Amino acid sequence: MTASQPDFRLDGKRALVTGAGRGIGLAIAQVYAAAGAEVTLCARTSAEIEAAAGALRAEGFKAEALALDVTDVMAFDSAITAVAPFDVFVNNAGTNRPKPLLEVTGEDYDAVMELNVRAAIFCCQSVTRRMTAAGTAGSIINMSSQMGHVGAANRTLYCASKWALEGFTKALAVELGPKNIRVNTICPTFIETPMTKPFFEDESFLDSVLAKIKIGRIGQVSDVTGAALFLASNASALMTGSALMLDGGWTAE
């Protein structure tokens, strides 16, 4: 007798991905759609998110656009309440304002913490309220970072926000485990996207990053999408309260 094959399919699942207009969020939504999920892509820019969802539909996949700013937690809650519960939620929207602590302003703090922590928590609240009311066995995936496990110069705010998200994830996993809702984080290292690529043109910055990544290369979006599919699917059915490190060995020392 051979072991059963792990099931990475998402047929019949409804998945919501925030920050899905570009980069990692868009790529995750595309992979979920190809795996059979009905995907809702959420981002602030209406034209961008409508185009992304339209491109998926043109390929024969099931995709809808949700144009709103997740920091407007009341609007987000109203939108989630108005639709069927989701089975998978990727809490991906986030931001960073790297600078030395002595240069950090109150406005910087508000921008980073409002999106990375406040919005992340209340978006989870809205989604899981619907999950629990419907008795849905779901998967929550909070997009964290290797910086939720280590420190780095010029990233005091970002590290604070991601460490907070890691603690929130563990607590929520304990709370929702009895309801068969799993909660985990994905913790990437530096990933090359259209937004981050210009930073790597600075050779000194690139060298400093590569010195920490033991595998010796910058991460690619495809390094993240596989992990996101794993956590969304039944292949990770026993995994909750965990951080999936995609850091090339950065945090190993």
Q: What is the CATH number of the domain that holds 68?
A: 3.40.50.720
Q: Residue 194's pLDDT is what?
A: 79
What percent of the chain is predicted at pLDDT more than 90? 94
Residue 211 has pLDDT above 90, yes or no: yes
Q: Which domain holds residue 57?
A: 14-189+224-242
Average pLDDT over residues 108-126: 98
User: Residue 65's CB: how many other CB atoms inside 10 A?
Assistant: 22
Residue 3 has pLDDT above 90, yes or no: no
Let me know if residue 214 belongs to a domain.
no
The Cα-based distances of 58 to 10, 63, 174 in angstroms read 19, 10, 40
Q: Residue 1's pLDDT is what?
A: 61
Let me know if residue 7 belongs to a domain.
no
Q: Please state, rounded to an integer, the average pLDDT across all residues of the chain.
A: 96
Residue 6 carries which DSSP code?
P
Let me know if residue 95 belongs to a domain.
yes
Q: Which of 13, 99, 109, 158 is catalytic?
A: 158
Q: Count of domains in the chain?
A: 1
Average pLDDT over residues 211-220: 96
Let me know if residue 252 belongs to a domain.
no
Per DSSP, the three-state class of 103 is helix
pTM, two decimal places = 0.96
Q: Which of 13, 32, 162, 212 is catalytic?
A: 162
Based on the residue annotation, tell me whether 158 is a catalytic residue of this protein: yes
Q: Residue 39's pLDDT is what?
A: 98
Let me know if residue 119 belongs to a domain.
yes
Q: Rounded to the nearest 5°, which phi and psi values hold at 148?
A: -90, 5
Average pLDDT over residues 236-243: 98
Let me know if residue 129 belongs to a domain.
yes
Based on the residue annotation, tell me whether 162 is a catalytic residue of this protein: yes
Which residues have CB under 8 Å from 126's CB, separation 6+?
A: 73, 76, 77, 80, 81
Let me know if residue 203 belongs to a domain.
no
Q: Residue 198's pLDDT is what?
A: 85
Let me know if residue 231 belongs to a domain.
yes
* Residue-wise pLDDT tens digits, 138-154: 999 999 999 999 999 99
* Residue-wise pLDDT tens digits, 160-190: 999 999 999 999 999 999 999 999 999 999 9
